[in-house]
Amino acid sequence: MNVYTRTGDKGETSLYDGTRVRKDSVRVESYGTVDELNSNIGLAMRKISDKDILDKLYQIQKKLFFVAGELATAEEGKFKNGVTDADIDTLEKWVDSYLEKMETVDAFIIPGSSDASAQLHVARTVCRRAERRILALSREDNVRPTVIKFVNRLSDTIYTFARYLEEDIRKVDFTTFEDIK
């Protein structure tokens, strides 16, 4: 199998269901950003030693293929393996479980006191961008609400894992400003 097909040389690509679309369409941006998120999670995993979080991130990576596959399908119902409400429940349970292990912080934190947390925070911001792109797509075309909800909850999950892996919680203090030297 060739990696190149030459079918995209004029700025179009084929979706999962065979529909041809512009490569800069909101749909392609949506699933492309999910792909970018998946890659960032993979990179973060290279920095993480916590076996439980690694296992959960691997499960998330597999689910992201379902999200991308559904977004890469224009014909409603053609992609059969979408994320479910049970997947969202799982993410919520993981968040709750890890929040119980951490001290409550009612402030913004400066991300990245460890390599692992820093990379997860990058993944979290990519996840938020994916969510925005999916919402933009939902204004043009049908997107199952479960997909939107899953990606929203996923960013919370990634944030929670990143926060758990912080080596030092550095809170943002909006009442003072130290000069940058």
For the segment 136-164, what is each residue's pLDDT rounded down to a tens digit? 999 999 999 999 999 999 999 999 999 99
Give me the residue spans of the domains in the chain. Answer: 22-85+103-165
Confidence band of 10 (pLDDT split at 50, 70, 90): low
Q: pLDDT digits over 13-54, tens only?
A: 676 667 787 777 898 999 999 999 999 999 999 999 999 999
Q: Report the Cα 43 to chain-centroid distance in Å.
A: 13
Distance CA 120, CA 28 (A): 24
Residue 80: what pLDDT? 79
Residue 65: what pLDDT? 96
Task: Specify the CATH number of the domain 22-85+103-165.
Answer: 1.20.1200.10
